[in-house]
Chains A and B, each alone.
Chain A
Amino acid sequence: ETGVTQTPRHLVMGMTNKKSLKCEQHLGHNAMYWYKQSAKKPLELMFVYSLEERVENNSVPSRFSPECPNSSHLFLHLHTLQPEDSALYLCASSQDVAGRSNQPQHFGDGTRLSIL
């Protein structure tokens, strides 16, 4: 039990589909993150939210659209993805934004996304 739950665990979609990834944290944290992890590459931070406000967007293509309706839930809406977007997408949370403080991040187990 990590305290951060991601659904679905696996997703296969075509390039023209629209799907959403969901993340829920049960830790009472104020900050949430989306990461992309590809084989043989470092974890890439995509988006950071603090108290439902987006505080960081690291040049992510517009085909990825995040949504944070409240401090416990985070979504990543996917549209018209490319084969190179196939990766493990990880959600994390922390008490405060990790880049501004020493708060460690708590990760979910990710969604394995495959684009056909």
Chain B
Amino acid sequence: LAKTTQPISMDSYEGQEVNITCSHNNIATNDYITWYQQFPSQGPRFIIQGYKTKVTNEVASLFIPADRKSSTLSLPRVSLSDTAVYYCLVAGNNRKLIWGLGTSLAVNP
């Protein structure tokens, strides 16, 4: 099983950069790392996905070290609307999808 571990919660302030790290020690060769964002009473939304090194899109960056046993979601200059739960999911390689509890990010004014 591709188990992931994330901090339960984080606090930040508007305008700061937020980095959320996920541990996935038993990641397999064919696994990809995907991050989702969830607001209350909504389904998770895809943010970013990567396999190795660095991936950047219009909302976030994803850093993956060479051993791939962890990954870091970076949110630049967060705003109040970034307050949400963030999930790291490791999938692929014909294995079951196991979601963690996610990281509850609170952005303060």
Interface size on B, residues (CB 8 A): 23
Decide if A104 touches B46 in the complex (CB within 8 Å). yes
Q: Could you tell me the distance between the alpha carbons of A44 and B100 in the complex, rounded to whole angstroms?
A: 10
The answer, yes or no, to whether B94 is at the interface (CB within 8 Å) is: yes
Given contacts A104-B46, A107-B45, A110-B42, A45 and B34 within 8 Å (CB-CB): no
**Which of chain A's residues have a CB closer than 8 A to the CB of B92?**
99-102
| Cβ proximity bits A31-55 to B, threshold 8 Å, 1 near / 0 not | 0000000001111110000000000
Q: Could you tell me the distance between the alpha carbons of A58 and B92 in the complex, rounded to whole angstroms?
A: 17
**Which of chain A's residues have a CB closer than 8 A to the CB of B45?**
2, 107
The answer, yes or no, to whether B109 is at the interface (CB within 8 Å) is: no
Residue of B nearest to A102 (CB): B32
Residues of A in contact with B (beta carbons under 8 Å apart): 2, 4, 40-45, 56, 58, 88, 90-92, 98-102, 104-110, 112
A-B contact pairs, 16 of them (CB 8 A): A41-B101, A42-B100, A43-B44, A43-B99, A92-B43, A99-B91, A99-B97, A102-B32, A102-B34, A102-B49, A102-B51, A104-B49, A107-B44, A108-B43, A109-B41, A109-B42
Residues of B in contact with A (beta carbons under 8 Å apart): 32, 34, 41-46, 49, 51, 87, 91-102
